[in-house]
């Protein structure tokens, strides 16, 4: 698949895997994107996940026939992109790996790549392919410490690694059209919040570093190639990395017997009635098809208020909800308003503990929350008042 005479797409779609990193649901799969820069010399930029050897090598053969690959640029060592390095090195024994100093020990440790096979590059170094050349910019912690991007000035193309990536397979076109951004927007936010969300500051640093480039094509490692929506994609990353949000409520709850769930639903109805934007996520493990923590994180990156429901469980927070709270704190999320609710039977503890966790993350805790005994009823729980509080 040619993106231009010199740049070819050789990535693959994975619609088999159900959980990315064994953790994040993939309702519409994910793509592992790899690219060829074809000139007097040929560079392959990143590989794809193992299991796709045949498809990958077929795409490469279709693109360059029996020409040799001179360089394999390793922008990022996470195995979804690096796990076919050995496979490619075996097929192209003369190939040289292009990587930075932080990548080298990882190449050795994962794939026993001998040092003499590696051309070490640093910030702004250049590797000529003939009529065009590759340049490298380090973007540490987007999303590992060794991560870099590759810039091809003559094509105004940025090979951005995971940055600007998204969940979801790509269709045959690969390149975006006017509608693609809206189509992928939610999945892009979910990808960012799940995978990169912790690294807002490094993303900011990377965006500043790349802002001088006149980018016309973004080739990330997951999702569509961006040509027609670059400003939208970049400004979404700007916004997400600054943890910027709009007014609205992300309701997240877990419930064993439906009582905390009933309170969550009642709150959703009251928000709905007031036209307050909201999302609702059930974290209990029995709801196949739900996005769980993954979807909840996405919406915490959208809305300024988090309403968390948990029953009291062994004098504490219901474990799936505790996991979610941990995910919030590890993503260094700030500037959020917080409200807790939940059912108990003999002595409530979850709401107080949720509020303590929220306070420790510097969230603004709104009121003392709603800890209610046994069943949810309208008499016990004035969700209209809660909706007003969260307005
Ligand atoms: C394993 C387990 C542990 C519980 N621990 C407590 C507890 O420590 N204190 C309490 O008041 N209720 C406790 N409960 C009772 C629940 O909080 C109560 O059933 C609540 O209504 C469940 O809400 P839900 O319907 O939203 O799951 C526990 C229930 C279970 C199943
Ligand atoms: Fe990654
Ligand atoms: Fe990745």
List the domain boundaries for the chain.
Answer: 7-241, 246-390
Q: Which of 260, 267, 311, 343 to mutate to test the pocket of ligand 1 (most atoms within 8 A of CB)?
A: 311
Q: Which two tokens stand for residue 302?
A: 């959208």
Q: Which two tokens stand for residue 177?
A: 């059209």
Instruction: Indicate whether 289 pLDDT > 80.
Output: no
> Which residues, 6 or more positions from 309, have their beta carbon under 8 angstroms from its beta carbon?
251, 252, 253, 254, 255, 260, 261, 263, 264, 321, 340, 341, 342
Question: 127: which DSSP letter?
Answer: E
Mean pLDDT for 25-37 is 97
- What CATH code is assigned to 246-390? 3.40.50.360
* Centre of ligand 3 from the C-alpha of residue 373, in Å: 45
Q: What DSSP string describes 202-265?
A: HHHHHHHHHTTS--SEEEESSSPBBSSSHHHHHHHHHHHHTT--EEEEEEEE--SSSHHHHHHH
Reported as a single tens digit per residue, the pLDDT across 5-14 is 999 999 999 9
What's the rounded Cα separation, in Å, for the pair 43 and 128? 10
% of the chain residues with pLDDT over 90: 97
Decide: residue 128, CB within 10 A, 0-12 exposed, 13-18 middle, 19+ buried: exposed
Whats the size of the chain, residue-wise?
391
* Centre of ligand 1 from the C-alpha of residue 97, in Å: 56
Decide whether any atom of ligand 1 lies within 6 Å of the 318 Cβ.
no
User: Would strands 118-120 and 126-128 be described as parallel, antiparallel, or unpaired?
Assistant: unpaired
Reported as a single tens digit per residue, the pLDDT across 239-263 is 999 999 999 999 999 999 999 999 9
What's the rounded Cα separation, in Å, for the pair 206 and 200? 10
User: Would strands 118-120 and 157-161 be described as parallel, antiparallel, or unpaired?
Assistant: unpaired
pLDDT band at 112 (very low <50, low <70, confident <90, very high): very high
Residues, Cβ < 5 Å to ion ligand 2? 78, 143, 162
Q: Which of 264, 313, 348 to mutate to test the pocket of ligand 1 (most atoms within 8 A of CB)?
A: 313
Mean pLDDT for 270-274 is 98
322-327 long-range contacts, CB within 8 A, separation 24+:
323/283, 323/293, 324/252, 324/254, 324/283, 324/293, 324/296, 325/354, 325/357, 325/358, 327/293, 327/297
Instruction: Indicate whether 286 pLDDT > 70.
Output: no
pLDDT of residue 284: 87
For the CA of 342, the closest atom of ligand 1 is 26
For the CA of 312, the closest atom of ligand 1 is 17
Mean pLDDT for 171-183 is 96
Decide: residue 379, CB within 10 A, 0-12 exposed, 13-18 middle, 19+ buried: exposed
Instruction: Indicate whether 288 pLDDT > 70.
Output: no
Q: Which two tokens stand for residue 148?
A: 């870099």
> What pTM value is reported for the model?
0.94
pLDDT of residue 287: 61
* Centre of ligand 1 from the C-alpha of residue 158, in Å: 52
pLDDT of residue 166: 98
What's the rounded Cα separation, in Å, for the pair 325 and 192? 18
Decide whether any atom of ligand 1 lies within 6 Å of the 312 Cβ.
yes
Label residue 195 left, alpha or beta by phi (over 0 means left) and psi (-120 to 50 means alpha).
alpha
Q: What DSSP string describes 67-91?
A: PPP-EEE-S--SHHHHTTHHHHHHH
Reported as a single tens digit per residue, the pLDDT across 299-331 is 999 999 999 999 999 999 999 999 999 999 999
For the CA of 374, the closest atom of ligand 1 is 21
Decide: residue 23, CB within 10 A, 0-12 exposed, 13-18 middle, 19+ buried: exposed
Decide whether any atom of ligand 1 lies within 6 Å of the 247 Cβ.
no
Please name the helix (run of DSSP H) or strand (run of DSSP E) that holds residue 355, with its range, or none: helix 350-360
pLDDT band at 285 (very low <50, low <70, confident <90, very high): confident
Decide whether any atom of ligand 1 lies within 6 Å of the 128 Cβ.
no
For the CA of 256, the closest atom of ligand 1 is 27
What's the rounded Cα separation, in Å, for the pair 217 and 240? 21
Reported as a single tens digit per residue, the pLDDT across 85-98 is 999 999 999 999 99
Give the number of whichever ligand sits closest to the CA of residue 144.
2
* Centre of ligand 1 from the C-alpha of residue 317, in Å: 10
Average predicted confidence (pLDDT) for the chain: 96
What's the rounded Cα separation, in Å, for the pair 58 and 244? 43
In a 3-state reduction of DSSP, which class is residue 194?
helix
Decide whether any atom of ligand 1 lies within 6 Å of the 346 Cβ.
yes
CATH T-level fold of 7-241: Metallo-beta-lactamase; Chain A (3.60.15)
């Amino acid at each position: 698949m040619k993106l231009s005479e010199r740049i070819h797409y050789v990535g693959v779609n994975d619609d088999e895997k159900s959980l990315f990193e064994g953790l994040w649901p993939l309702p519409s799969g994910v793509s592992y994107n790899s690219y060829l820069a074809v000139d007097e010399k040929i560079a392959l930029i990143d590989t794809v996940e193992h299991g796709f050897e045949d498809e990958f090598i077929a795409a490469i053969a279709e693109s360059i026939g029996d020409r040799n690959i001179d360089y394999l640029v390793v922008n990022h060592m996470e195995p979804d992109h690096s796990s076919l390095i050995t496979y490619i090195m075996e097929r192209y024994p003369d190939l040289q790996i292009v990587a930075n100093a932080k990548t080298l020990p990882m190449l050795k440790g994962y794939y026993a790549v001998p040092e003499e096979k590696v051309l070490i590059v640093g910030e702004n170094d250049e590797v000529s392919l003939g009529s065009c050349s590759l340049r490298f910019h380090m973007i540490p912690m987007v999303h590992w410490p060794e991560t870099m991007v590759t810039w091809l000035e003559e094509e105004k193309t940025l090979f951005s690694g995971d940055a600007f990536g998204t969940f979801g397979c790509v269709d045959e076109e690969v390149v975006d059209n006017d509608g693609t951004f809206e189509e992928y927007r939610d999945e892009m936010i979910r990808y960012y919040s799940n995978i990169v969300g912790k690294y807002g500051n490094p993303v900011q640093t990377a965006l500043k570093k790349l802002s001088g480039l006149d980018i016309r094509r973004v080739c990330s490692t997951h999702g569509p190639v961006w040509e027609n929506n670059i400003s939208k994609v970049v400004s979404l990353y700007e916004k997400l990395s600054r943890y910027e949000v709009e007014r609205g409520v992300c309701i997240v709850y877990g419930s064993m017997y439906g009582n905390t769930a009933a309170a969550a639903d009642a709150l959703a109805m009251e928000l709905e009635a007031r036209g307050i934007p909201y999302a609702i996520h059930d974290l209990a493990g029995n709801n196949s098809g739900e996005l769980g923590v993954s979807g909840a994180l996405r919406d915490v990156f959208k809305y300024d208020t988090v309403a968390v429901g948990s029953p009291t469980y062994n004098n504490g927070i219901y474990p799936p909800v505790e996991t979610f709270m941990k995910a919030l704190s590890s993503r260094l999320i700030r500037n959020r308003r917080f409200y807790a609710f939940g059912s108990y039977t003999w002595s409530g503890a979850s709401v107080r503990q949720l509020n303590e966790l929220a306070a420790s993350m510097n969230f603004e805790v709104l009121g003392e929350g709603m800890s209610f005994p046994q069943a949810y009823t309208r008499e016990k729980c004035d969700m209209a008042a809660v909706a007003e509080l969260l307005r």
